[in-house]
A = this chain, B = another copy of it.
Amino acid sequence: MIFYDCATAPSPRRARMFIAEKGITVETRQIDLRTGEHLGAEFLALNPRGTVPVLVTDDGNVLTENLGIAAYLEARHPEPPLIGRTPDETGLIWMWTAICEHQGGLPVAEALRNSSPAMKDRALPGPVPYAQIPELAERGRARLGVFFDLLEERLSESRFLAGDSFSLADLTGYVFVDFARIVKLRIPEGHTASQDWFDRIAARPSAQA
C-alpha cells in the first residue's frame, strides 16, 4: 500500500488516524497542498480530482475518498473494529459518519474556502476553479453552530457517537471539530458532553499521528 497524505489538512488526517488506530504501518508520501502539488500533472495522473487522501492498495487500485479508504482498511485489517461488529453497529457508524461529513465537514469547508483570500477561486477542492460565495461562508458558520448542538445532544446520551465504542464516526467528527478552529469556531462553553468526548479522543495516540 502507498498512502498519499498531507500533514496539514483535515481530510487526509481522517485516513491517517484510521491507519494509526489499526496499528498498521503504511508507506506514506506527503503531498504539499500549499505549493499546489495536488494540482500538478503528476498527482492528477493518480487522482484526477486532485484531492488527498489517496490510498493505493496492494492490488494497485487507487482509492481516493475517505469512505473507500476506511472500508478497504477495515476489510483488510478487521481488528480493532472501527466500523462495527454487528449489522446495527455498522449501520449506526456509517450513519454518524455521514452526519459528521454533511453537518460538520461540509460547513467548515464552506466557511473556510468561501472566505479565505488564499482560496480565491478555489471554493471547492480539485482542479476546476469555482468563485467564492461569501453567503456560503456565513451559512457554513451558522451550520457549524447547529452541528455543535447536534453533537452535544447526542453525546449527552451516548459515550461515543455511534454507541459505547470509539469508531470511524468519532474520528470523523473529531477531525472536523478540531479543524473548525481555522474559522475561529470551537465547542461552545457549557457543551460539557462534547468537550469531554473531544478531550478523550485528543488523548488517543492516533490524534497525534
Binding site for B on A (CB under 8 A): 48-49, 55, 57, 59, 61, 63-73, 75-76, 83, 86-88, 90-99, 103, 106, 124, 128, 130-131, 133, 135-136, 139, 142-143, 146, 153
**Which B residue sits closest to A132, measured CB to CB?**
B135
Contact indicator A92/B75 (Cβ below 8 Å):
no
Main SS class of interface, A: helix
CB < 8 Å neighbour of A68 from B64, B91, B130: B91
Contact indicator A57/B94 (Cβ below 8 Å):
no
Contact indicator B87/A68 (Cβ below 8 Å):
no
CB < 8 Å neighbour of A90 from B75, B93, B103, B124: B75
Cα A86 to Cα B59 in complex, Å, equals: 11
- Of all A-B residue pairs in the complex, the 5 with the closest CB atoms, nearest first, are A68-B95, A72-B91, A75-B87, A65-B98, A71-B94
Copies of this chain present in the complex amount to 2
**Which B residue sits closest to A124, measured CB to CB?**
B143
Cα A21 to Cα B132 in complex, Å, equals: 41
Cα A55 to Cα B69 in complex, Å, equals: 26
A88 touching B59 in the complex, CB below 8 Å, given contacts A66-B98, A133-B135, A133-B136: yes
List the B side residues contacting A97 at CB < 8 Å. Answer: 67
Cα A55 to Cα B91 in complex, Å, equals: 10
Contact indicator B136/A67 (Cβ below 8 Å):
no
List the B side residues contacting A94 at CB < 8 Å. Answer: 65, 67-68, 70-72
Cα A69 to Cα B90 in complex, Å, equals: 9
For the complex formed, measure the closest distance between the CB of A3 and the CB atoms of chain B, giving whole angstroms: 13
